[in-house]
Amino acid sequence: MAGEHDNSLTTMAGALPTIGSLFRARAQIQKSEIAIEYGDRRISYAKLLERVERVTAVLAGHGLVRGDRVALLSRNRPEYLEVELAAANLGIITACLNWRLSRRELTYCIDLVSPKLLIAEEELAANLETSACDGCPIVIIGEEYERLLQQQTGQQSANDIDPEDGLVILYTSGTTGLPKGAVISHRAMAARAMVFTSELGIAHDDAFVAWAPLFHMASTDHSLATLLRGGTVILVDGFQVEPLLSALQRHRIGWFVLIPGMIEAFIAGFRANPVAVKGVGTCGAMADLVPPHVLAEVTELLQAPYLNSFGSTETGLPPATRDRIPIGTTPARLSKLQNAFCEIKLVDPADKEVADGFPGELAVRGPTLFSGYWQAEATNAHDFRGGWFHMGDVFRRNADGSLDFVDRAKYMIKTGGENVYPAEIERVLVSDARVTEATVIRAPDAKWGEVPVAFVARRDETITEADLLSLCRRDLAGYKCPRQFHFIDFADFPRSTSGKVQRHELEARLMRDRPPAQASTSTPIHGHQ
């Protein structure tokens, strides 16, 4: 009897749903309702399901099977979600490529995951190096993509998919200067969808405006969550005020994403063309990077609280994105609140938990957590030590249970919602033989929250700021290029007893030397999201 009972439990565990099966179940219930808006196009759940099953057949026809990767290089458009859902049907992992990266960076990201198929917009595919995706077939979105779909009758999901299988790979900057591929499983994505609903109070029919790139967690996570709930995803290719205002006027939106660097432009656009907002549950993200008076202004306009977020690509909305700044409030402090459905602890360098009031690195575990970095065994062993994911950010827990950011254990620059690690910029700068030392630090910026600034020691005085900027523009995405270059002697770099450059000393020097007009009204970054 015991044996029979165990077998029954095993069978039940093996029948857990996946993102593909959950979407199919929802689409079959509300066939005529709108799943995606894209410009003038309206795609019903039934039509989206039909197209997803045709794309599933296309992927299978190219020989992709469970565990394989399909690379996706595209701006925001319906095909993006079609590919992600179709890959989910077969247990294939979608590698979501950041089209803003340089050719060199894109080639590295593609080589890292060894895809068996690349699906891309023609313009973006033309920017790839000839060695990228060597030997891998490429399907161009447009006439070729549509022709392949029309040749298929559709295919449903495979039977052997496990919720722990990878669903998507989202790239995040690495401390070594090379991107890391964070693997998000079906389990994690389903959990993220439920946490969105629970923590932000999102209704099943609330819409979501995916204007941020779909290669980012906010748009991919919440677009899929919206389709699993039964809402409408309004796809917008980047920050455009008019489509955003139109969406606000026509839809009740559960979470209206705003990020530093675009909020002031959004406010100006809204005031120039006021609309009657149908309803917003929560707006914003990364409150730490937004001037406090702007938080008050935008929440008044939208009549919605602002999300005081602290999460990451690796964790989703948790660990500390529960607090919301009330409408019209200019916050004096931005303490975080721990999310439900996760556990966190603050630990010292020996991984012993610290007492309240003492700083410690934040470690988290819970169902929204990613599965690890692709092909990064040593990094995974270190970051997941003891069964907890160590984020590399230091916090202090207050007596009321809230959390205050202290510092980053891993130095990172957050510019306009993008994560930038100094090492990737420094690698490019020191590649020029005329440079003997380069250290990149963060500087506060009124528009972008933070920007990279480089301190450089020259071996050859002929190299100029223009030369270095040209070098960076060749090999780095635009947002990673330093906004300033400061030339100093090699001996003037402040160093620890172990010889490491002390970035905080350079930050202090920069702030002492900056004219007051350049100082930012924003607070230093306290999160990844």
Query: Which residue in this structure is represented by tokens 């964070």?
Result: 182
Q: What is the DSSP string of 274-313?
A: ------EEEE-S-GGGS-HHHHHHHHHHHTSPEE---EET
pLDDT at 4 over 90: no
The band of 498, judged by pLDDT with boundaries at 50, 70 and 90, is low
Residues 6+ apart with CB under 8 A from 19: 85, 88, 167, 186, 189, 190, 224, 228
- What is the end-to-end Cα distance of the chain in Å, rounded? 50
Residue 491, token pair as written in the block:
């001996």
In angstroms, the CA 205 to CA 378 distance is 43
**Sheet strand arrangement including 180-185:** 138-141, 117-121, 69-73, 93-96, 166-172, 180-185
pLDDT at 134 over 80: no
Q: What are the pLDDT digits (tens) for 361-399?
A: 999 999 999 999 999 999 999 999 999 999 998 899 999
Q: Worst-scoring range by mean pLDDT, 152-166, 212-226, 380-394?
A: 152-166
Residues 6+ apart with CB under 8 A from 47: 35
Average pLDDT over residues 175-180: 73
Q: Residue 298, Cα to own-chain centre: how many angstroms?
A: 23
In angstroms, the CA 302 to CA 293 distance is 15
In angstroms, the CA 278 to CA 302 distance is 9
pLDDT at 529 over 60: no
Q: Residue 63, Cα to own-chain centre: how many angstroms?
A: 29
In angstroms, the CA 236 to CA 222 distance is 14
H or E stretch covering 225:
helix 217-229
Q: Torsions phi, psi of 515, nearest 5? A: -65, 145
Contact 107, 128 (CB under 8 A): yes
pLDDT at 167 over 50: yes
pLDDT at 315 over 70: yes
- Which amino acid appears at position 374 of this protein? W
Alpha helices in 135-216 (DSSP H): 143-150, 186-200
In this prediction, residue 520 carries a pLDDT of 38
pLDDT at 5 over 50: no
pLDDT at 526 over 50: no
If you count them, how many residues does the chain have?
529
158 or 3: which leads in pLDDT: 158
Domains of the chain: 1-28+44-161 (3.40.50.12780), 343-408 (2.30.38.10), 413-518 (3.30.300.30)
Q: What are the pLDDT digits (tens) for 25-82?
A: 999 999 999 999 999 999 999 999 999 999 999 999 999 999 999 999 999 999 999 9
Residue 184, token pair as written in the block:
């998000």
In angstroms, the CA 160 to CA 395 distance is 42
C-alpha pair distances (Å), 464 with each of 84, 241, 434, 457, 461? 45, 38, 10, 11, 8
pLDDT at 160 over 90: no
Query: What percent of the chain is modeled with pLDDT above 70?
Result: 92
Q: What are the pLDDT digits (tens) for 234-248?
A: 999 999 999 999 999
Q: Torsions phi, psi of 264, nearest 5? A: -60, -40
In angstroms, the CA 510 to CA 420 distance is 19
Q: Are strands 233-235 and 208-210 parallel, antiparallel or unpaired?
A: parallel
Alpha helices in 2-131 (DSSP H): 2-14, 19-29, 45-61, 78-90, 103-113, 122-125
In angstroms, the CA 269 to CA 253 distance is 19
